[in-house]
Structure 1
Amino acid sequence: MSDVELAEVESFSLDHTKVLAPYVRLIGVEHGPKGDAISNFDIRLVQPNEAEIPTAGLHTIEHTLAALLRTRFDGLIDISPFGCRTGFHLIAWGEPSVETVAEAIKSSLTDLVERVTWSDVPGTEAVSCGNYRDHSLHSAREWARAVLAQGISLDAFDRSRIA
């Protein structure tokens, strides 16, 4: 075994074979030295190890959610895709509820499917994106539609509480 010291990362301790996507899960809340809270959420859109969103669609979902979610609740710091392409980390100031985040995700995905046009997607030019050629609104809509058809669970292990 290597002598490299590694910190434990919560998401690598999660049993990915037991979760039931799509869901919103609060990973944890960290408090800064002045008491301010930062919440970290697991926004899982597809079932781990069974499906992954192609990068172009995931990229367009990321850019669109980054803009839409900021209109739906205060305190969004970032929404970033998982490397496994099954969903996103959402980081927010304060302690928004799982229900608040799930409703914001649901309404944003609904807008992505029903209302967003290519001209609405932010960051699709070389000056505003590091890989601007790798986007697909069509793919983003198809995946968003599939997530909405299943419903977004408020519990990673129980599909009975759907937002």
Structure 2
Amino acid sequence: MADVESFTLDHTAVIAPYVRLIGVEHGPKGDAISNFDVRFVQPNEGEIPTAGLHTIEHTLASVLRDHIDGVIDISPFGCRTGFHLIMWGEPAVADVVAAVRAGLEFIAGPAEWSDVPGVSAVECGNYRDHSLHSAKEWAKRILAQGISLDAFSRVGV
């Protein structure tokens, strides 16, 4: 079996919330794709409830694209402590943090149910499992802690 980077990470050594560059892959024509660990909750100490995480996912999928170019996908970790963010190119961690912070500020603040994309049965595979209230509370909590530029120390918070 191939090694998966996230399974080699010492989850007891990281200090969430943070954004961490997991790695950069280059395609056959030289295109770069960056994979980021966007960790909102300290591993093994808590998790975002599914409905709130689902709403954060849908909202960030749209709002991030307003704040940074190159977003391919943002997908939640099964452990519900954060997300993989896949992007074209090699954006700086500080730029990713700024975009994520802006997205969370929108969720925590002015976001209304009508701002959450893809929440109908046609658009979502589990459309009943959303909570804007939970998403707002978690966004506020994450913002209050600050998002570090380093997974192992509180840098740039």
When normalised by structure 1's length, the TM-score is 0.95
1:17-62 deviation per Cα after TM superposition (whole angstroms, max 9, x unaligned)? 0000000000000000100000000000000000100000000000
- What percentage of aligned pairs have identical amino acids? 73
Aligned ranges 1:14-93 → 2 under 5 Å: 14-93=9-88
Distance in 1 of aligned mates of 2:155 and 2:24 = 25
Q: Does 1:7 align with 2:36?
A: no
* Runs of 4+ more than 2 Å apart: none
- 1:29 match: secondary structure: strand
Distance in 2 of aligned mates of 1:150 and 1:111 = 16
Cα offset, 1:100, TM superposition: 0.5
Alignment-mate amino acid for residue 39 of structure 1 = S
Cα offset, 1:160, TM superposition: 3.3
- 2:100 match: secondary structure: helix
Residue among 105, 120, 123 paired with 1:128: 123
Cα offset, 1:161, TM superposition: 2.4
Aligned to 1:146: 141
Residue among 88, 92, 99 paired with 1:97: 92
Any gaps of 5 or more consecutive residues in structure 1? 1-5
Distance in 1 of aligned mates of 2:103 and 2:14 = 23
- 2:99 match: secondary structure: helix
Alignment-mate amino acid for residue 92 of structure 2 = S
Alignment-mate amino acid for residue 120 of structure 1 = D
